[in-house]
Amino acid sequence: MVSPGELRVIDELTPNEAYTPEISDEGAVSYSDVTRLLDDDDDDPADVLERFATRGVLANEFVSKVYVCPECTTEGLQYTTVCSACGSAHAIETTVLEHVCGYVGLETEFDAADGYRCPDCEMDLESSDVDETDRYVCEECSEMFDIPDERLWCRECFSLFPPLDAIERVLYRYRLTADGEQWLDRQKDARQTIAEMLADRRFETEIDTTVTDDGASRSVHLLAEDDLLDERRIVSIHETPDEERIDAFCAFANSIDAHPVVVTTSGAVEEDVAARADGSELTLLAYRENGTIETDYETVESADTHRQGFFQRLTAALEVPGRKGQ
């Protein structure tokens, strides 16, 4: 199923445009145009775009990579270093003195009342006896070391973890494909055709509109109302309707006292969906290549496997286990 918001996202693209990720100064990634077009109950914008890329509707082009916190999935991690002994980030690079006897310490440790003296061997210091060097000193456990351990720090949950523990996310730029243009035209043509059919039956129709149920709003592909007969229809456009989404759609239709109508743009539905349409609670229709809408449709065992060959089915015969006429 493509939601009204997802259809908006694809419809907004032209062949010369693309959805490009935006990275804030804090490292947060967004697709602001996609977010604007999607509804609140749609999936994350990046997930929506990648799903359409997987199906061939969009083409993805590599842009960059970001790393997110494994604890809270926040983006924009900060690089830091920690003590190799206790793991504290309060390990600071400091200038230290190294005496010829081998003792290494802060300059303050060598400071005596009458000059400078090694706190270990108690030898008075001469300039030739000591070397200055930079080492890390932990303010928590006093450990001194040359190379600290690397960590990433999450600004949201304050977790510290090794860089290899971060979750890598690849960022893409998304463009509409030629197959995607065909797919988009098919969904929009199906929506327009059913709208015209209902208008011919004296329904007032609204395409891509919002319906409210007890204060909660939901977008629908098409709303059709006949005030005279007090009838209401909501229409959902599906490529290959599956049981889970149809159950949710029918439940919503029932909550607003509307009859659910589902149009399959592939000409096929799951067997369980077809069985549900045997009653009067759901109307199933199929959009055909010639631009007509019919009550005949195919049945398949699984919508997921049927969707995988969508673009191939535009030019090849549809192989299905049975045929259903409503």
* Mean predicted confidence (pLDDT) in 207-222: 87
> Could you tell me the domains of the chain?
4-69+165-176 (no CATH), 78-153 (no CATH), 180-325 (3.40.1350.10)
Residue range 120-132, pLDDT digits in tens: 787 877 765 677 7
How many residues are given for the chain?
A: 326
CA 43-49-54 angle, 5° bins? 110
Whole-number Cα distances in Å, 172 to 30, 38, 49, 62, 220: 11, 18, 9, 5, 29
299: which DSSP letter?
Answer: E
3-state SS string for 115-131: EEECCCCCCECCHHHEE
Cβ atoms of 197 and 293 closer than 8 Å: yes
User: What's the N-to-C CA distance of the chain in angstroms?
Assistant: 21
Residue range 70-115, pLDDT digits in tens: 999 888 899 999 999 999 999 988 888 787 787 888 777 777 766 7
The answer, yes or no, to whether residue 315 has pLDDT greater than 60, is no
Residue range 26-80, pLDDT digits in tens: 778 899 999 999 999 999 999 999 999 999 999 999 999 989 999 998 888 999 9
Query: Tokens at residue 225, please?
Result: 């109302």
pTM tops 0.75, yes or no: no
pLDDT-derived band of residue 201, with 50, 70 and 90 as boundaries? very high
